[in-house]
Chain A
Amino acid sequence: MSAAPLSLEGIHKSFGTKPVLRGLDAEVQAGEIFSIVGPSGAGKTTALRLLDLLDSPDAGRITFHGKSYPIRSPESLAQRRRMVLVMQNPTVFRATAFENVAYGLWLRGVPDAELRGRVFAGLDFVGLLEAAKESAEKLSGGEQQRIAFARAAVLNPEILLLDEFTANLDPFNVRLLEQSILRYRHETGCTVVIVTHNLFQAKRLADRVALLLDGRFVEVAPAADFFEHPVRPETRAFLSGEMAY
């Protein structure tokens, strides 16, 4: 029984007749940044949603420190609250930046005084302290995604799940967010699973990289090995840009 913070064993998932995940196996170590790369539509988002307990696999188990949680149980809600999933395309609530960042804390019943402190710290962490009272919808895409990150970070999750969350952002914001992730992991030691199709980003951030292809992890390796000495031919094809999909 694995005691890793996050472990996937034989995950299968289909939508209708279309199989998306066909046997995912992986073990994410505590405090590491684990990056999942692969072609679009390979099932990366599906995998993250399963990891966040938003959906359940057709077969296989996902365990957290060895325990698994059926999706509708109160324990699964408790586990879900120890993780956060940040999605692509910033989804902010129709409220101020402050209120957006405070959302998760409200859900958990954090008292007001402590809440304010944590929200302001979070806004500061992503450099948006002055925007606290502004309507989140009026911020730029990059700023909204920074709000989304702060919204996740203030919750001190044990596991942070990021789904292509710097896609469509300008270089400034991409860099800022990447720095934030690294700082955050350094300061809190949380485990990060990041899905990206940006290989450069994966190179910058990941400790280990996994290639998701045809519903399976074709290769999982430390970043340096993955990029410089890929073992599998599919990996080589993917990295060189010669893979057609």
Chain B
Amino acid sequence: MTDFSEILQIVGLSILVSGTSTLIGSVVGVPLGVLVALRKFRGRNFVRTVAFTFYGFPPVLAGLLVFLILSRGGPLGFLGFLFTPIGMILAQSVIVMPIVMGITISAMMTVEKRLHDTSLALGANERQWRTTALHDARVGVFTAVMVGFGRAISEVGTVLIVGGNIRGQTRVLTTAIVLEISQAHYLEATIFGIILFVIAFAVFAFLQRLQAKGVV
């Protein structure tokens, strides 16, 4: 049965994996979203549609694809990332990135056109303008990051397939819940679920405070 230190380890790993993948997904997804929203280029609408489509991309499928890539028999097998936390992080990043990018694009599209003229009129070049627009749409962009985190912390298919739910190594809250359910340990499963909920709540509460204080 799981003892306290094991629970702690599961919680810690959950936060590490989901937190890191949210960060990676955001660090890549936000600038990409800004570029797609603001820069004109051929095929822009196509890229936009693709980004939005990936919202609905099933995490289990992403998990399968990453598994095939990270498997020893696969192209990136030499890295040895399968059944490890770093593999789980990479796999979740693949899911989080399109979500953050898509919502960022939507948020950026709400920025007024007049702001562009104002910004240029005050001496901005296009790169400075993109930062300005991002700053103006920051509430929406921040929402994108939060939605990305929500998806990461709650998803189970990807981390199960790529991580293998190995005790002490790649077991996170969601996969622990699946395991407990398969053993008909419904009470334990519910407890893990409550812990997950509390963590998500704490993270969102913290992020909200950051936002209220104007840090972001």
Q: What residues of chain A have their CB less than 8 Å away from a CB belonging to chain B?
A: 49, 52, 54, 77, 80-81, 84-87, 89, 91, 93-95, 103-104, 107-108, 151-152, 155, 161
Within 8 A of A (CB), among B104-131: 112, 114-115, 117-118, 120-125, 128
Q: Residue on B with the closest CB to A80?
A: B123
B132 at the interface (CB under 8 A from A): yes
B115–A91 contact, CB under 8 A?
Answer: yes
A155–B115 contact, CB under 8 A?
Answer: no
A91–B122 contact, CB under 8 A?
Answer: no
Instruction: Give B122 Cβ to nearest chain A Cβ, in Å.
Output: 4
Bound complex: CA A108 to CA B118 (Å): 15
Instruction: Give A62 Cβ to nearest chain B Cβ, in Å.
Output: 15
Chain A residues with Cβ under 8 A from B117's Cβ? 49, 54, 85, 87, 91
Given A87-B117, A87-B118, also A107-B136 (CB < 8 A): no
24 contacts between A and B (CB under 8 A): A54-B120, A54-B121, A77-B123, A77-B125, A80-B120, A80-B121, A80-B123, A81-B123, A84-B122, A84-B123, A86-B121, A87-B118, A91-B118, A93-B115, A93-B132, A94-B135, A94-B138, A103-B122, A104-B123, A107-B123, A107-B128, A108-B123, A155-B122, A155-B123
Q: What residues of chain B have their CB less than 8 Å away from a CB belonging to chain A?
A: 112, 114-115, 117-118, 120-125, 128, 132, 135-136, 138
Chain A residues with Cβ under 8 A from B114's Cβ? 87, 89, 91
Most buried by A among B112, B121, B132: B121
Bound complex: CA A151 to CA B121 (Å): 11
Chain B residues with Cβ under 8 A from A84's Cβ? 121-123
Chain A residues with Cβ under 8 A from B124's Cβ? 107
A107–B122 contact, CB under 8 A?
Answer: yes
Bound complex: CA A95 to CA B118 (Å): 15
Bound complex: CA A85 to CA B120 (Å): 9
Chain A residues with Cβ under 8 A from B125's Cβ? 77
Given A87-B114, A87-B118, also A93-B123 (CB < 8 A): no
Bound complex: CA A53 to CA B58 (Å): 48
Chain B residues with Cβ under 8 A from A77's Cβ? 123, 125
B122–A95 contact, CB under 8 A?
Answer: no
Q: Residue on A with the closest CB to B122?
A: A104
Q: Residue on A with the closest CB to B120?
A: A54
Chain B residues with Cβ under 8 A from A107's Cβ? 122-124, 128
A sample of 9 more A-B contacts (CB under 8 A), given A77-B125, A107-B124, is A52-B121, A81-B123, A86-B121, A87-B114, A91-B112, A93-B132, A94-B136, A104-B122, A107-B123
A87–B122 contact, CB under 8 A?
Answer: no
Bound complex: CA A185 to CA B132 (Å): 29
Chain B residues with Cβ under 8 A from A87's Cβ? 114, 117-118, 121
Chain B residues with Cβ under 8 A from A95's Cβ? 135
The 9 closest A-B pairs by CB, nearest first: A85-B121, A81-B123, A104-B122, A91-B118, A91-B114, A107-B123, A94-B136, A107-B124, A104-B123
